[in-house]
């Protein structure tokens, strides 16, 4: 069993109009919860770690946890760096065993984004790793990135074609209306699927990536709020929009917020129902099971990747 690139999984997904879930990991329970779901669904799997996740868990721990998971479950996994901020973090991850990295140059002007992406692509390809880049700017807040709605810009299809041609990048994240975090839309959710179609038509062989693709299920928000949370007005991308995007060239769908919500909702419930409890195995175990249930549902009903690991 080995850490693998996304190459083969994307080839299959692109042909058959489904997507692979790329799930963010930060600790052992999240890794175990997601892997159990992928095994249940016999799905190809991408686990991704952001710079902040690496700072929190340390890359050695993350890699060794994935090695243990692969050995126990008898599956291959792609370990991907999410939102690599610069060349150095991409190089460090590749050198320590990651087979896929994202260089996020979306905050730069086009030429500078091309330049740093190309530098990472050249390094990665020599080392047998693949690279995702981003063009256009998603709104939203994560640890390392904070883009206001006014600064967000959608991906220009012609620029996307030029970008892929000039960088040789393996996959491209596009901005079509999604955003990071739990508050994605103020009114009715809307994605620019026509723009996605145009991008896909111009670069049909390039796997596209959807960031900020959590659905923020109403029942998870309600459970968090019922058990003491305060997450009013959270709203995500409706599941049918993710399915539509998967049929238009999107091969990788990034999910972090929903995992956080599932785990938090369950742990909140546990503490309210068991005020006497203080064994981390009890509440983290409950949180882990909630992650498995969420990810199984996504793989089966949203990504459509069930069975992809055996195809």
Contact pattern for ligand G3H over residues 98 through 117, marking x by CB under 6 A: --------------------
Among ligand 13P, Zn ion, ligand G3H, none, residue 262 binds (CB under 5-8 Å by kind): none
**Catalytically annotated residue among 17, 44, 76, 82:** 82
Distance from C-alpha of 186 to C-alpha of 218, rounded to nearest angstrom: 15
Task: Please say whether the dihedral angle defined by the alpha carbons of residues 135, 140, 146 and 151, taken in this order, is positive or negative.
Answer: positive
Report CA torsion sign: 168, 172, 174, 179.
negative
* Residue 214, binding choice from ligand G3H, Zn ion, ligand 13P, none, Cβ under 5 to 8 Å by partner class: ligand 13P
Q: Which is nearer to Zn ion, 121 or 213 (CB)?
A: 213
206 binds, among Zn ion, ligand G3H, ligand 13P, none (CB under 5 to 8 A by kind): none
Which of the 8 DSSP states describes residue 205? T
| Contact status, residue 138 vs residue 118, Cβ threshold 8 Å | no
Query: Looking at 84, 177, 212, 217, which residue binds ligand 13P (CB under 6 A)?
Result: 212
- Decide if residue 180 touches ligand G3H (CB under 6 A): yes
258 binds ligand G3H (CB under 6 A): no
The enclosing H or E element of 71 equals helix 59-73
Q: Which one of ligand 13P, Zn ion, ligand G3H, none is in contact with 53 (Cβ closer than 5 to 8 A by kind)? A: ligand G3H
> What is the DSSP secondary structure assignment for residue 154, as one 8-state letter?
P
Alpha carbon distance, N-terminus to C-terminus of the chain: 17
Asked if 306 and 42 touch (Cβ cutoff 8 Å), the reply is yes
256 is catalytic: no
DSSP state of 255: E
287 vs 31, 254, 284, 306, CA distance in Å?
12, 20, 5, 23
Q: Which part of the chain contacts ligand 13P (CB under 6 A), choosing from 51-59, 149-157, 256-264, 296-304?
A: 256-264
Residue 53 within binding range of ligand G3H, rule CB under 6 A: yes
* Minimum separation from the CB atom of position 229 to ligand 13P (A): 17
Enumerate residues 6+ apart whose C-beta is below 8 A from 74.
Answer: 1
Going residue by residue from 184 to 213, which x/- string records binding to ligand G3H, judged by CB under 6 A?
---------------------------x--
Point out which residues bind Zn ion (CB under 5 A).
211
Tell me the catalytic residues: 82
């Amino acid at each position: 069993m080995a850490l693998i690139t996304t190459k083969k999984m994307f080839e299959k997904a692109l042909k058959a109009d489904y997507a692979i879930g790329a799930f963010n990991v930060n600790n052992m329970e999240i890794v175990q919860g997601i892997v159990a779901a992928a095994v249940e669904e016999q799905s190809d799997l991408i686990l991704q770690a952001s710079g902040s996740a690496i700072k929190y868990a340390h890359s050695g721990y993350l890699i060794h946890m994935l090695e243990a998971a692969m050995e126990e479950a008898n599956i291959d996994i792609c370990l991907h760096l999410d939102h690599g901020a610069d060349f150095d973090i991409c190089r460090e991850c590749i050198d320590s065993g990651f087979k896929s990295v994202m260089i996020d140059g979306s905050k730069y002007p086009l030429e500078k984004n091309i330049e740093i992406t190309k530098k990472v692509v050249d390094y990665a390809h020599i080392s047998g790793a693949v690279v995702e880049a981003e063009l256009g700017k998603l709104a939203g807040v994560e640890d390392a990135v904070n883009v206001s709605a006014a600064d967000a810009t959608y991906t220009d299809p012609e620029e996307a074609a030029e970008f892929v041609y000039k960088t040789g990048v393996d996959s491209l994240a596009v901005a079509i209306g999604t955003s990071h975090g739990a508050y994605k839309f103020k009114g009715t959710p809307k994605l620019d699927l026509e723009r996605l179609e145009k991008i896909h038509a111009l670069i049909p062989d390039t796997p596209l990536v959807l960031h900020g693709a959590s659905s923020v299920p109403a029942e998870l928000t309600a459970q968090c709020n019922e058990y003491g949370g305060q997450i009013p007005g959270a709203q995500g991308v409706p599941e049918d929009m993710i399915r539509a995007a998967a049929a238009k060239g999107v091969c990788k769908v990034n999910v972090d917020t929903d995992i956080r919500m599932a785990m938090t909702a369950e742990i909140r419930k546990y503490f309210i129902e068991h005020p006497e409890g203080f064994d981390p195995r009890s509440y983290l175990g409950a949180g882990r099971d909630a992650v498995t249930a969420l990810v199984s549902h996504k793989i089966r009903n949203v990504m459509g990747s069930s069975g992809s690991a055996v195809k």
